[in-house]
Chain A
Amino acid sequence: AQKVTQAQTEISVVEKEDVTLDCVYETRDTTYYLFWYKQPPSGELVFLIRRNSFDEQNEISGRYSWNFQKSTSSFNFTITASQVVDSAVYFCALSEVNTPLVFGKGTRLSVIA
């Protein structure tokens, strides 16, 4: 069975600090996708990134970067120079073939001005 673990329940950082959100996953499939979603206080889940199991290249998008390592089954998310607007709950999720998305428990990030 697929499983996603986000060990960090809550993180607080001061604005402009870098912060890394951890995600560890379990799956028996060789083909799968990993996702990160952001949930601000408004409630909507905002898609951030999708990465397939065959592409281990790290990705950078502005202040966001993702580090995918199959050897450790991890898909970590780093925010550089954090801002107050980054405050939200961040969910890591896993999708296998023909199965619904499975979410981790989420990490609540608070960025303090």
Chain B
Amino acid sequence: DTEVTQTPKHLVMGMTNKKSLKCEQHMGHRAMYWYKQKAKKPPELMFVYSYEKLSINESVPSRFSPECPNSSLLNLHLHALQPEDSALYLCASRMDRGLFGELFFGEGSRLTVL
């Protein structure tokens, strides 16, 4: 069983909707990540939080808004998305951003934008 939990597993939304993806880990990891993965492509990094502060934003459009309320939780708020934003959104955590530890991934939230 994965130690990184993502909800919901599936989400369908219209372009005018506002929704959120949630991610939770209880491994004491201090770095958390959002990745976006299109079909048959590798995961692409979106955001990195280190000690609850945003440390990397890979030029992601503002319609994606991350939030890290505490060290165990990571949210991705979605607003005014486009159909091309449909993808698998993966959350991951790591003990510390600067270390070489492996990333632990959740099962992902599969998003469809109509």
Contact = CB atoms under 8 A, between A and B. Distances in A.
Nearest to B106: A44
B98 A97 contact: yes
Contacts of B52: none
Contacts, number: 51
B2 A44 contact: yes
Interface stretch (B18-26, B37-45, B75-83): B37-45
A106 B100 CA distance: 21
B90 A45 contact: yes
Nearest to B94: A101
Contact of A44 (B97, B100, B102, B107): B107
B103 interface: yes
Interface residues of B, number: 24
B42 A35 contact: no
Contacts of A100: 33, 45, 48, 56
Interface in A89-109: 91, 95, 97-98, 100-101, 103-106, 108
Interface residues of A, number: 23
B108 A33 contact: no
Contacts of B32: none
B64 interface: no
A52 interface: yes
B91 to A, nearest CB: 11
B110 interface: yes
Given A98-B97, A103-B43, A43 B102 contact: no
B51 interface: no
A95 B60 CA distance: 21
B98 A98 contact: yes
Contacts of A97: 98
A57 interface: no
Interface string B87-114: 0101010000110111111111010000
9 contacts: A32-B100, A47-B103, A91-B42, A95-B100, A97-B98, A98-B98, A101-B45, A103-B43, A105-B41
